[in-house]
């Protein structure tokens, strides 16, 4: 590892960053299936061997790409303040933000699902679960708990379960958007309305 402490040695010439960017681009356009070190190097305008210098091997590179996106998971609920704005509007905005986030991360999530070796390498560090929604649940659940205190949300709501449902819907819409190259059927508003009012007859 050359860089744990960050910028201890030589100044970066941007190769590492270019490689990461190219990897993400290919992942988004073509998926892991077509992700080769050769094409990454070509697109990054970099020697193929530089990839191995920086990341050790192909999987190390994939790991780095995944790691790059994990911290951003917690930003999804930023700007949401319980009590401010309408509950429905807040949820629609949250859901839209989540869908956009998942649309960016979906190719990477798909890569992890499609590559057992990559999955295994994360399991070794116990980081497999980090990819899941656990990181995302907390801030959303916190927001819902805030609204619950204010009485805008059912007093007996299981906020973690509700946050999971929101994440599930967002992920679904992002995946569908990628599969059919268009937005998923129905709007985010429809889903929010279902969630707000529930299924059971009142």
Partner DNA sequence: GTCTATACCTAGATAGAC
Partner DNA sequence: GTCTATCTAGGTATAGAC
Binding site for DNA (CB under 7 A): 2-3, 9-10, 12-16, 34-39, 45-50, 52-54, 57-59
CA 161/CA 181 separation, integer angstroms = 30
Q: Which does 164 bind (CB under 5 to 8 A by kind): its own copies, DNA, none?
A: its own copies
Mention every residue, 6+ apart, whose C-beta is less than 8 A from residue 35.
Answer: 23, 26, 27, 111
CB of 100 or CB of 165, closer to its own copies: 165
Beta-carbon count within 10 A of 133 CB: 19
CB of 8 or CB of 125, closer to DNA: 8
Check residue 36 for interaction with its own copies (CB under 8 A): no
CA proximity to 105, closest of 136, 140, 77: 136
Burial pattern 165-175, b for ≥16 Cβ within 10 A else e, equals: ebbebbbebbb
Q: Which does 168 bind (CB under 5 to 8 A by kind): its own copies, DNA, none?
A: its own copies
The structure tokens listed for 19 are 């490689």
- Which residues form the interface with its own copies (CB under 8 A)? 29-34, 87, 91, 106-107, 109-119, 123, 128-129, 131-134, 144, 151-158, 160-162, 164-165, 167-169, 171-173, 175-176, 178-181, 184-186, 190-191, 193-202
């Amino acid at each position: 590892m050359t860089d744990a402490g960050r910028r201890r040695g030589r100044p970066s010439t941007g190769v590492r960053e270019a490689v990461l960017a190219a990897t993400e681009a290919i992942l988004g356009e073509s998926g892991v299936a077509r992700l080769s070190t050769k094409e990454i190097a070509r697109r990054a305008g970099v020697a193929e061997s530089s990839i191995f210098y920086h990341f050790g091997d192909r999987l190390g590179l994939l790991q780095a790409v995944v790691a790059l996106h994990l911290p951003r998971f917690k930003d999804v609920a930023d700007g949401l303040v319980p009590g401010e704005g309408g509950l429905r509007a807040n949820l629609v905005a949250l859901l839209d933000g989540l869908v956009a986030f998942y649309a960016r991360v979906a190719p990477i999530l798909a890569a992890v699902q499609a590559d057992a070796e990559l999955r295994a390498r994360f399991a070794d560090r116990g980081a497999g679960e980090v990819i899941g929604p656990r990181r995302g649940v907390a801030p959303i659940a916190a927001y819902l708990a805030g609204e619950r205190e204010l009485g805008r949300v059912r007093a007996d709501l299981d906020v973690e379960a509700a946050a999971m449902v929101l994440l599930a819907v967002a992920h679904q819409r992002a995946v569908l958007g990628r599969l059919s190259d268009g937005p998923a059927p129905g709007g985010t508003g429809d889903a929010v309305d279902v969630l707000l009012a529930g299924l059971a007859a009142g």
